[in-house]
Amino acid sequence: MSSGAEPSLAHKSVAGIRTAPTQDQSPATPHAPFRVTSSSYGSPSTLRAEDDFVLVEIGSRFVRVGFAGDSLPKATLSSGPEQGRRVGDFRAWQQNGSQSSVAESESESESGAWALEHEIWSFDLRQVDLGLFHDRLERTLREAFTRYLLIDSRPRKMGLVLDPSVPIPLLSAVLDTLFNNFHVPVVSLMSSPTMSAVAAGVRSALVIDMGWAETVVTSVYEYKEVKTTRSVRGGRVLHDALYKLLRGLLVGDEAPDKEAQSHAKRVVSFEECEDILCRLMWCRSSAFKPSQRQSSQLDTVREQDESESESESPHAGEVTAVPLQSTTPATTLPVPFDKLADVCDDSYFVPSASLCTFDDHELPLHHLVYHHLLHLPVDVRAVCMSRILFTGGCSGILGIRERLMDELTSMVERRGWVPVSGKGVEQLRANQKLRRADAHRSSVSPVAPSEGSNEDLELAPSETSATESLEDLIEAKIARNRPSSQSLHGQLRCIHSLGPWAGASLLCQLKIPAMAMIDRETWLQQGANGAVRPTEVDTKAQQRQSMGPGGLMRGVGGHHPSWTLGVWGAL
């Protein structure tokens, strides 16, 4: 029991509690009502805009757009006459709207005008209107941002995945579109072959890009592009050859003269010809079968009669019925599978012609890859030939990867890695006398031991055995505590890649800084002429970079006054 003299606890009295004014009561002093505004906490879109990293890949026919960290792009947009229609153009819904793309002369196919409307850009700048390309690219990106990515017009960091051979005028048009129309603060340039190697999980690879305009072979060694060779044998050549086959089956005139060809109209539309290419095109297997095949190149076991020859094609003699809607009238065309395989062989491999009939820019695919590997350094070749990647739309043709690997293996086993070839070399290899003389020289010892070195020869075995035993003990102890990791070298092997977009998405998600980064203010002030050459950039000073949240936002204009376009700026 506490006495009355003890002080009371410090409780608030009921009279000291101020009640809130009701509707009938008014506050003693006039003041603004208390409001909670969302601006004090910030908009959710602002936080999201700082975290988003938009990734764009621009190819010859398609534009892939998405966010960094995703395995697949959110949208894949194509370019064509349908995407270039103006407001109020309803020709596609008219009765004869499907015939609009067919009504053009066949003589335009030789100049590439038939496929020019379906391409985003062409590396031949003589046929490219940069202003029109600027408007089409802006329309495509704006449609992708508003309809598929669902983002507003707030500036966001962006990454570009491009072919290293893109000309500077096209690159300048792309950067002007991003900086002026979308107000991108920083653009990171990433190479397609290097990103394909990243997506495969390797540091070195031989990337074979079988695209629409051409086939490009690039050797990547430790994330650096060592050598690039290309050939015009791509999807465009295959598409034109398939159209000639369909026209011959429909009309019956496989080789019309030039005067009749200039006045003739196309019998099949571009879209239907491309659809047949994607669905039915296949490649015949090689006549050479390697004795030992890697696990990634195993043949599918197929039950067959014992009387059936092994060299016979599985689709020999088969015919498929192809419905055509763009012809006048609509018809169903029987197409033999053997002729489709002949079209693929003549477009990519040309087995009936000799190598001397081709220029350097039109080599068959297996010769292109072989000569590319032949001119590489020995250590780079040993690593890259065991990590062969296939990318591009035409690499999905049935059987074309197996055919290329078999042809390449046969050339290596037949010729080796000797850069000299011809009849004289073949005769020299077939000369038995020279072979016996070389074998006799290698068996004879070039230097005979002298008499004064007998004591050294007697002491050498004991010292050597002691040293070898000591090294063996140390190596055995190290091997027990060290995991054995042996990389494959010197063998032809094909591995799978997720594509350049997936590799760039992984790097951007990990906040790894790109070597070619362009700031908006620097580009608006200097343009493409302000970029220094790649050799003038100090790569050693850029090795120690922070991998924090601001890794990709390193100051290009402030901290690094010298900036570069990388491989795109090398003339």
User: How far is it, in rounded angstroms, from Cα 409 to Cα 288?
Assistant: 9
Edge-to-edge strand order for the sheet containing 205-210?
224-231, 215-221, 205-210, 388-391
Q: Which two tokens stand for residue 108?
A: 């335009």
Higher pLDDT, residue 445 or 420 = 420
Average pLDDT rounded to a whole number, residues 71-98: 76
Residue with tokens 């293996």: 409
Tell me how far the alpha carbon of residue 410 is from its chain's centroid: 27
Predicted confidence (pLDDT) per residue in 521-533, tens digit: 999 988 888 886 5
Structural Rg of the chain based on CA atoms: 34
* Domain residue spans of the chain: 49-84+111-201+498-543+559-569
What confidence score (pLDDT) does residue 516 get?
Answer: 86
- State both tokens at 353: 């012609």
Q: Residue 214: pLDDT band by 50, 70, 90 thresholds? A: very high
What are the pLDDT digits (tens) for 175-200? 999 999 999 999 999 999 999 999 99
Residue 480: its H or E element: helix 454-481
Top-confidence residue, 535 or 199:
199
Burial class (CB in 10 A: 0-12, 13-18, 19+), 389: buried
Most confident region among 38-47, 352-361, 369-378 by mean pLDDT = 369-378
> What is the chain's mean pLDDT, rounded?
77
- Sign of the Cα pseudo-torsion (356, 361, 362, 366, in order): positive
User: Which own/partner contact pairs does 410-413 have at CB distance under 8 Å and 24+ positions apart?
Assistant: 410/286, 410/288, 410/290, 411/366, 411/367, 411/370, 412/370, 412/492, 413/290
The predicted structure's pLDDT at residue 138: 93
Say how far apart CA 345 and CA 297 lie, in whole Å: 20
226 membership: H or E segment, kind and range: strand 224-231
Question: Does 259 score more than 60 pLDDT?
Answer: no
- Is residue 562 within 8 A of residue 537, CB to CB? The reply is yes
Which tens digits make up the pLDDT trace of 493-505? 999 999 999 999 9
d(CA 374, CA 64): 34
pLDDT digits (tens, 9 = 90+) for 274-289: 999 999 999 998 887 6
For the ranges 218-227, 270-279, 509-518, 546-555, which has the lowest average pLDDT?
A: 546-555
Q: What is the pTM of this model?
A: 0.75
CB contact at 8 A, 127 and 114? no
pLDDT tier at 29, thresholds 50, 70, 90 = low
466-524 per-position pLDDT tens digit: 666 666 777 777 777 776 666 778 889 999 999 999 999 999 998 888 878 899 999 99
Q: What is the pLDDT of residue 263?
A: 52
Q: Please say if the pLDDT value at position 311 is more than 50.
A: no
Mean pLDDT calculated for residue range 76-104: 68
Phi, psi for residue 462 in degrees, rounded to 5: -70, -45
Quick one: pLDDT at residue 33? 55
pLDDT of residue 159: 93
Residue 203 gets the label, from left (phi > 0), alpha (psi -120 to 50) or beta, of alpha
CB within 8 Å of 467: residues ≥ 6 apart: none
pLDDT for residue 64 is more than 60? yes
- What is the mean predicted confidence (pLDDT) over 390-396? 93
In this structure, are strands 157-162 and 53-58 parallel, antiparallel, or unpaired?
parallel
Q: What is the CATH number of domain 49-84+111-201+498-543+559-569?
A: 3.30.420.40
Written as six digits, the tokens of 227 are 């050598």
| Partners of 141 in beta bridges | none
User: To the nearest 10°, the Cα dihedral for 218, 220, 224, 225?
Assistant: -10
Q: What are the Cα distances from residue 40, in Å, to 32, 36, 37, 44, 48? A: 17, 8, 6, 12, 17
Tell me the sheet residues that pair with 456: none
pLDDT > 70 in the chain, percent: 67
Residue 218, classed as helix, strand or coil, is: strand
Band the pLDDT of 557: cuts 50, 70, 90: very low
Question: What percent of the chain lies above the pLDDT cut of 90?
Answer: 40
Q: Is 42 left (phi over 0), alpha (psi -120 to 50) or beta?
A: left
What local confidence, expressed as pLDDT, does residue 484 receive? 62
Instruction: List, as one string, the DSSP characters of 102-169.
Output: T-SBGGGGTTTHHHHTT-S--S-GGG--HHHHHHHHHHHHHHIIIIII---SS--EEEEEE-TT--HH
Question: What DSSP string runs through 11-52?
Answer: PPPGGGSPPPP-SS---SS--PPP---GGGT--HHHHHHHH-
CB 375 within 8 A of CB 196: no
Mean pLDDT (whole number) for 337-350: 93
